[in-house]
A = this chain, B = another copy of it.
């Protein structure tokens, strides 16, 4: 049996493997504050690259960034009934505004607030309040705002990146004069997320509409992109909500329309969070550690000097430094290649594994023999074997190599998704699909089941014992007639069902 960098492997214990990937790549760890994580530099570097890519796409589609308060008055949350019901059970509540010495010497909360403040779980209500002030006439529309911030949704069971009480995200909020324009925005931003997922994360996704039971609290329609992880579970990877006039009526977001009358605005919201780092990990990583698509890697190339004795050191270091400068001049994806030298005193094998586990796309080993030949020994994270090549060839093909790696990762992930998406026509077949077939691989089974269904409570109830959820109703140009595999009713709706994160 081949030795792997990560133990347990995906097959042995998928959740355990995930934890080890996060730990050995030094991406994040739990903090002493229940539910809150610490995102370490290597993990945060991925998030910064995600932010840069998304932020550009938001701006290119006419959105502007702004910043709204962290706190939401309780009464604001209560304005939209479904909305508050959706978030009341997981709110961090601020009740006091100072600490003062208590009877036993320690400090106790003091300065009780007249109205409790909620740490934002999402900002529809506070941003809606401001929109109502800002929007007077149709000339003020559309209003298209994005915010990068932290949000809090209280969680007891934490999984790094996937489920934490505090997380980082962006939330877009827009207001429009017409229903059609708001619907168009809702779809446009889903497309932006899908493009980001596929082109930057190298993660194929299925675009579709959420069922009624899975909608955002207060939305008329929620769209999502769904990705398949390597254990065949789905991970919702970005959502775009058409809020209709629900929030504008609750918050009086009105405007004078072009006919001189008064109308309620149509609003949307859409968000993508640090959860995506979890999706990235589970899409590409292998039993040796993290694998990063080059477009999101904090560093692209690490140079490891191979020094057998101190005499060699100056020559090797000098060569590596020159190589570093040469690589740093190569432009990849619009910016200089991120390259660094690891001259720590780790042993050769240890150093190599360190960077494999962190998912650095390209490792270069450079020793006296390579210098003599003006060559480099190249390890690609997507391939098992390292190979030697002339330095000039390495430099000349570097961008092509990174592009190729990005494509390889996408193709692998698409193959997994395609091979594990099945068309299912009966409930028995459906149940069998989601039953573990192999006791040795309890974590890896199922996949995406696509079938006819009717979106109704009866369907939802039949799914509960299977721990399967409707992921989305994929967009499809043609409607065909079929029979709901759950209720037996005639239907034109086909959905994707899966176990999910």
- List chain A positions with a Cβ less than 8 A from chain B: 31-33, 36-41, 44-45, 47-48, 64-74, 76-78, 84, 88-100, 106-107, 109, 111, 116-119, 126, 129-130, 145, 149-150, 152, 154, 166, 168
A67 touching B89 by the CB < 8 A rule?
no
- B72 and A33 within 8 A (CB): yes
Asked, given contacts A88-B99, A88-B100, A149-B150, whether A33 binds B71 with beta carbons under 8 Å apart, the answer is yes
Known contacts A41-B65, A44-B65, A65-B45; is-contact A92 B74 (Cβ 8 Å): no
For A96, list chain B residues within 8 Å (CB): 91-93, 95, 116
With A36-B70, A36-B71, A116-B109 known as contacts, the answer to whether A89 contacts B93 (CB < 8 A) is no
Chain B residue with minimal CB distance to A117?
Answer: B33
B40 touches A98 (CB 8 A): no
> Please, which residue of chain B has its CB at the minimum distance from the CB of A164?
B69
B100 engages A92 (CB within 8 Å):
no
Question: How many copies make up the complex?
Answer: 2
Evaluate contact between A98 and B154: CB separation under 8 angstroms: yes
With a cutoff of 8 Å between Cβ atoms, the chain B residues found around residue A152 in the complex are 70
Q: Is A98 touching B94 in the complex (CB atoms < 8 A)?
A: no
Q: Would A92 and B88 be within 8 Å (CB), given that A33-B71, A67-B38, A70-B36 are in contact?
A: no
Give 13 pairs: A residue, B residue, CB < 8 Å, sorted on A: A31-B68, A31-B130, A33-B117, A39-B66, A40-B66, A67-B168, A71-B166, A92-B96, A93-B94, A93-B99, A94-B119, A97-B154, A111-B154
Min distance, Cβ A247 to any Cβ of chain B, angstroms: 16
Whether the pair B99, A69 counts as a contact (CB closer than 8 A) is: no
Chain B residues near A106: list those with CB within 8 A. Answer: 78
Which of chain B's residues have a CB closer than 8 A to the CB of A67? 38-39, 44, 47, 168
* C-alpha gap A117/B92 in the complex (Å): 10
Q: Determine the distance from Cα of A69 to Cα of B31 in the docked complex, in whole angstroms.
A: 7
A131 to chain B, nearest CB (A): 11
- Chain B positions within 8 Å of A117 at CB level: 33, 92
Cβ distance A132 to chain B, nearest Cβ, rounded Å: 11
**Which residues from chain B contact A39 at a C-beta distance below 8 Å?**
66-67
- Among A32, A45, A145, A168, find the residue whose CB has the most chain B CB atoms closer than 10 A: A32
Q: Is A74 a contact of B48 with CB atoms below 8 Å?
A: no
Q: A90 near B98 (CB under 8 angstroms)?
A: yes
- Docked complex Cα distance between A130 and B116 (Å): 31
- Expressed in whole angstroms, the minimum distance between the Cβ of A205 and any Cβ of chain B is 26
Q: A33-B69, A70-B150, A109-B116 are in contact. Are A130 and B38 (CB under 8 A)?
A: yes
Q: Which of B69, B89, B93, B116 contacts A38 (CB 8 A)?
A: B69
B65 touches A48 (CB 8 A): yes
Contacts of A66 in B (CB 8 A): 38-41, 44
A110 vs chain B, min Cβ distance (A): 8
Q: Please indicate the chain B residues that have their CB under 8 angstroms from the CB of A45 in the complex.
A: 64-65
A154 to B130 Cα, complex, angstroms: 22
> Once the chains are docked, how many angstroms separate the CA of A166 from the CA of B32?
23
> Contact: B70 with A93, CB < 8 Å?
no
Q: A77-B99, A95-B95 are in contact. List 13 more A-B contacts (CB 8 A).
A: A32-B126, A33-B72, A38-B67, A38-B130, A39-B66, A39-B67, A40-B66, A67-B168, A70-B119, A88-B107, A92-B117, A94-B95, A149-B150
Of B32, B33, B71, the residue contacting A92 (CB under 8 A) is B71
